[in-house]
Amino acid sequence: MKAERYRIEPGTEVDLSSWDPADHAMAPDGKEAARKTIKQLNRRLTELQELMYAQGKHKVLMVLQAMDTGGKDGAIRKVFRGVNPQGVKVTGFKKPTGLELAHDYLWRVHAHTPARGEIAVFNRSHYEDVLVVRVHDLVPPEVWSRRYEHINAFEKLLADEGTTILKFYLHISKQDQKERLQARIDEPDKNWKFAKGDLAERALWDNYMEAFEAVLSRTSTDHSPWFIVPANAKWYRDLVILEVLVETLEHLQMRYPEPEEGLQDIIID
């Protein structure tokens, strides 16, 4: 796989400071050439998703996590441009409601996993329960520290039952986040995206990096791998995600279902 270099081998201790958020290794010919590739990959994704929907056999789950302004929304918009919305279900996971908090943390997640023929995209996910929850001590360490194992078991269950899982951590630099937050203040059309609370989270950058490193080190498995996507450049982020997604779908070797017999003899009057 072209994007293999960004896949975390199970058991690797990830040190995010050694991962360059501005890496462009997969695009040696630069941005313009990459744009062409992105277009082609996006078209191929459209075909593959149609095939997946028609065949109604495979299920794909794509998880997106990132720091604030990391580009989750933009990635969804660009990667799935032109793809039939009927076959793609996007779920955003916000602060849990009272009802959600009254259950275990995976309760709200399971219902949104993909059905046969569907691609489900998680904009944030159950990983918040070992990220924001860990950083803010929303539950005691003995509670969150057990969750990595739960999550691995949960994803194993999904995989055993036929779900292909791909997880993407969109890696931006702290400096890049600063510029993106500043743009949300400076550009009136972006003001709505600015939340003062994002600054409090930014102050906890190092704690978040540590929490992400634990996630990437402990929950990347053969059946549910993490990819660290260099995301300072938006086009490069989209290129990496598309490469992984398209290549994974190609490997499923999908076929349109067999047509009903005798179709060629039918005369419609």
| Contact call for residue 196 and ligand ATP (CB under 6 A) | no
Q: 35, 43, 81, 124: which one contacts ligand ATP (CB under 6 A)?
A: 124
Q: Does 68 bind ligand ATP (CB under 6 A)?
A: yes
Among residues 23, 128, 176, 243, which is the contact residue for ligand ATP, using CB under 6 A? 128
Q: At what angle do helices 72-79 and 30-55 cross, to 10 degrees?
A: 70
Residues in CB range of 133: below 8 A, 6 or more apart: 139, 144
| Number of residues located near ligand ATP, criterion CB under 6 A | 13
| Among the residue ranges 21-29, 123-131, 171-179, 223-231, the one whose residues contact ligand ATP (CB under 6 A) | 123-131
Query: Does residue 144 touch ligand ATP according to CB under 6 A?
Result: no
Nearest to 228 by CA among 2, 8, 23, 71: 8
Residue 185 is a binding residue for ligand ATP (CB under 6 A)? no
106 touches ligand ATP (CB under 6 A): no
Which range, of 124-132, 141-149, 152-160, 229-237, touches ligand ATP by CB under 6 A? 124-132
Q: Which stretch binds ligand ATP (CB under 6 A): 93-101, 156-164, 217-225, 257-265?
A: 93-101
Residues that bind ligand ATP (CB under 6 A): 68, 72-73, 93-96, 124, 128-129, 132-133, 195
